[in-house]
């Protein structure tokens, strides 16, 4: 195959496997093939690599485990009910502390703290 040069610094890029890469935000893919510059770290995907990531992301999107819920009010706070299926899946219990982390302006991530 023809040598691929970094568009950033001109060095030869090496074929690597990225442990995790998000082709589409919120859908991490594991073991993604790419080319990476050993000098500056720039990452490059061939058309075949990009097609593969798109197909894998569509499968994840189709099988996404999630629920839609309406925001309600309880006292002075906004509340999102957590469905029973998700409570069971995550082994949540009453009184458990959860950490809410903003993700850009698109939403938030809820993590169990173990407390």
Q: What is the mean pLDDT of each run of 10 residues along the chain (115 residues)?
A: 88 96 90 96 96 92 78 94 85 91 86 79
Distance CA 25, CA 41 (A): 21
Strand blocks (E) in 6-92: 13-24, 27-37, 43-44, 72-74, 77-79
Q: CA angle, corner 69, sides to 72 and 27, nearest 5?
A: 135
pLDDT of 71 reads: 94
Residues 6+ apart with CB under 8 A from 18: 31, 32, 33, 34, 36, 43
Instruction: Answer whether 108's CB lies under 8 Å from 100's CB.
Output: yes
pTM score, two decimals? 0.55
Same domain (yes/no): 19, 58 = yes
Domain count, the chain: 2
Tell whether 31 is covered by a domain: yes
Instruction: Point out which residues pair with 78 in neighbouring strands.
Output: 73
Residue range(s) defining the domain that contains residue 102:
81-112
pLDDT of 65 reads: 67
pLDDT of 115 reads: 64
Tokens of 103: 């993700």
- What does the CA dihedral 8, 11, 15, 16 come to, rounded to 10 degrees? -60
pLDDT of 103 reads: 87
Same domain (yes/no): 22, 58 = yes
Same domain (yes/no): 92, 56 = no
């Amino acid at each position: 195959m023809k040598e691929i040069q970094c568009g950033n610094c001109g060095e030869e890029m090496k074929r690597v496997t990225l442990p995790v890469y998000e082709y589409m935000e919120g859908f991490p893919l594991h073991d993604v093939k790419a080319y990476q510059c050993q000098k500056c770290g720039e990452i490059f995907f061939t058309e075949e690599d990009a097609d593969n990531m798109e197909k894998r992301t569509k499968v994840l999107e189709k099988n996404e485990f999630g629920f839609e819920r309406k925001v309600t009010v309880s006292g002075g706070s906004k509340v999102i009910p957590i469905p029973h299926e998700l409570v069971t899946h995550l082994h949540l219990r009453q009184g458990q502390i959860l950490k809410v982390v903003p993700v850009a302006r698109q939403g938030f991530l809820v993590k169990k703290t173990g407390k």
